[in-house]
Structure 1
């Protein structure tokens, strides 16, 4: 019979054997050792499935109709989302949802973790709807737990080296802008002040992630939010909402500035800023060149532009999903997400700056 002391000794030996091999071989077929994802429903891979009170879920048909096994996983998409395609680009499996890991040890964190939550924002609203999603501040706290687990498993220097080579993907702000658009109470705060609050909060949280090991950041700006189906149906012309797009551009400018500030303040930080607005705008203005036929209506939903009722099991869904830009009221199709990642991963400086994601992984 194996005594506890012998068991612990055996585990220690196994760790010493396994992790040097892992650290020496991760680069074979992988551009980075891990990806840590923070964000909202654009990159949520199922965290909201584990929030019992949340209504912001996508773990039902017709979501996932084009995902392997044709199952809904909690992704707000007909298939893969942006986080999945980024992982594919660097030769990694998709980072698992943090809330699915329970009390997992550092072993589960080696190739990354996804903290993203549908409905999450930069600013943390102080109301009962906190139970609907995991905001930025809580996602960062979850990361600190992961970093502690990796440190315990790899040692301080091993964890720091591992994290310094990893990608930290950040996608936030859409829900804050949508909240401002839909709330007369929030609009009592001047727009410039509201956006400044978003930028200040995000900057502080990115600093915290940096202090705890992050060095390579992929931060994506907002697409033209006023052009998504949910916003178009509030416009009598069914065109894009200019006010929402103006607010979006204001935040994107603040985001670009804060990244430049962080780079100057944090010597070892490197980043790639994804210019989502011009990328998605080009899809809308020149759809045929990008393989799209429908850039206004959602693929899944009911009513005008398939956007008056969300994508639910009772909703209609299109059969030609590859030529639609939007899957539902807000989110891109798998085809659009994959094409978007192509632009930020290998694109020129008007789409990703000061370097693209491929160049960032090589540093």
Structure 2
């Protein structure tokens, strides 16, 4: 059977599974009551649309394969958390915080903002955005709004303790901060080790604040191998073929520290909480190293973009993207295709190995 036929067969089977999950959810057997999302452009679904920023994707051809077109998602179709929400049985996509109102908040909200980071100044080079600190403050407002739907504080706490929280930040703290030396001074102020430690200090405080606001089931994603995205391949060695190992080495320090933080949280630092660490670096590397087994043929350039590796300038308005998008790991200079997001989300949800989801997978987390 040809690779593209395998892809369509697999996609059809996934659609049937997701339809079953939706029917289950509509009949009251959803796996968790709510899903709250914090992050950057990898999972932003429209929060940046009305901001004065270059980090926005509310124009074609973004969303070319999404039912509602260009909604602000930085890919051709579904994001990682879109697929994850479907796997968890939600009948609808989790709405962006910018649009979530009233009882819809009981299903959850997506606070992610393109270009955002753990540090407040990260992404300022691209314009407005909501940093992680701002996203946490927005969630605090959500908790206040949710009080009206519960009889007492204990009922609200019980509801929040059953929800799943996802946080995926750090990429921009390196791409649009530490390694952007013409705009930021952090590389002069910190060694890679010291910068990772500073990020982890701030991030653990932010995650602790989510815990204080009621989060108990928390998924944190490490930073992927961003030294190998088309943007870095296009600019690092002038040939578009070699990863920037300096960046990958720096983020490995952060990832190792984040996994240790998850261990500390689970061992009692945050009583009653269960954290899951997603090894995005390992999962993404596996996707590239074993590309053909997943049906991918193009691993080093974007489906849509300009210049070397389609990575020197990101996807432009009304630009014609590649036709066979399922063959590409990357949609543009920075972000995965829907096909890659589906595989990564399924792995995070149901992986049987700790090398991708640690110490348990998201399916197990939902059952706790």
The TM-score normalised by the length of structure 1 is 0.88
Task: Output the CA distance in 2 between the equivalents of 1:242 and 1:68.
Answer: 38
Instruction: Specify the alignment match of 1:287 in structure 2.
Output: 291
Unaligned runs of 5+ in 1: 1-24
Instruction: Specify the alignment match of 1:60 in structure 2.
Output: 59
Matched, 1:199 2:195: no
Q: Deviations over 1:212-268 (max 9, x none)?
A: 110000111111111100010122242111111111211100111111222221120
Matched, 1:180 2:183: no
Task: Output the CA distance in 1 between the equivalents of 2:198 and 2:332.
Answer: 29
Shift of 1:131: 5.0
Aligned residues of 1:301 and 1:316 also touching (Cα < 8 A) = no
- Aligned runs of 1:289-308 on 2, under 5 Å? 289-308=293-312
DSSP-derived class of the 2:224 partner = coil
Aligned residues of 1:278 and 1:351 also touching (Cα < 8 A) = yes
Task: Say which is worse superposed, 83-92 or 312-321, in terms of deviation.
Answer: 312-321
Instruction: Specify the alignment match of 1:142 in structure 2.
Output: 138
Q: Deviations over 1:125-178 (max 9, x none)?
A: 189659521000000000000011112321312211111000000110000011
Instruction: Specify the alignment match of 1:352 in structure 2.
Output: 357
Instruction: Specify the alignment match of 2:7 in structure 1.
Output: none
Matched, 1:75 2:76: no
Instruction: Specify the alignment match of 1:95 in structure 2.
Output: 94
Aligned residues of 1:302 and 1:315 also touching (Cα < 8 A) = no
Q: How many residues align?
A: 334
Instruction: Specify the alignment match of 2:248 in structure 1.
Output: 245
- Aligned runs of 1:28-39 on 2, under 5 Å? 28-39=28-39
Task: Output the CA distance in 2 between the equivalents of 1:207 and 1:235.
Answer: 37
Task: Output the CA distance in 2 between the equivalents of 1:220 and 1:298.
Answer: 23
DSSP-derived class of the 1:317 partner = coil
Aligned residues of 1:50 and 1:99 also touching (Cα < 8 A) = no
Matched, 1:167 2:168: no
Pair 128,304 (structure 1): closer, same or farther in 2 beyond 3 Å: closer
- Structure 2 residue aligned with 1:320, among 316, 324, 329? 324
Pair 50,100 (structure 1): closer, same or farther in 2 beyond 3 Å: farther
- Aligned runs of 1:320-339 on 2, under 5 Å? 320-339=324-343
List 4+ stretches of structure 1 deviating above 4 A.
126-131
Task: Output the CA distance in 2 between the equivalents of 1:126 and 1:271.
Answer: 25
Instruction: Specify the alignment match of 2:281 in structure 1.
Output: 277
Task: Output the CA distance in 1 between the equivalents of 2:32 and 2:122.
Answer: 37
DSSP-derived class of the 2:300 partner = strand
Aligned residues of 1:41 and 1:118 also touching (Cα < 8 A) = yes
Unaligned runs of 5+ in 2: 1-24
The TM-score normalised by the length of structure 2 is 0.87
Aligned residues of 2:123 and 2:172 also touching (Cα < 8 A) = no
Compute the RMSD of aligned alpha carbons. 1.7
Pair 302,128 (structure 1): closer, same or farther in 2 beyond 3 Å: closer
Task: Output the CA distance in 2 between the equivalents of 1:198 and 1:173.
Answer: 8
Pair 354,130 (structure 1): closer, same or farther in 2 beyond 3 Å: same
Instruction: Specify the alignment match of 2:11 in structure 1.
Output: none
Instruction: Specify the alignment match of 1:209 in structure 2.
Output: 210
Shift of 1:305: 0.8
DSSP-derived class of the 1:272 partner = strand
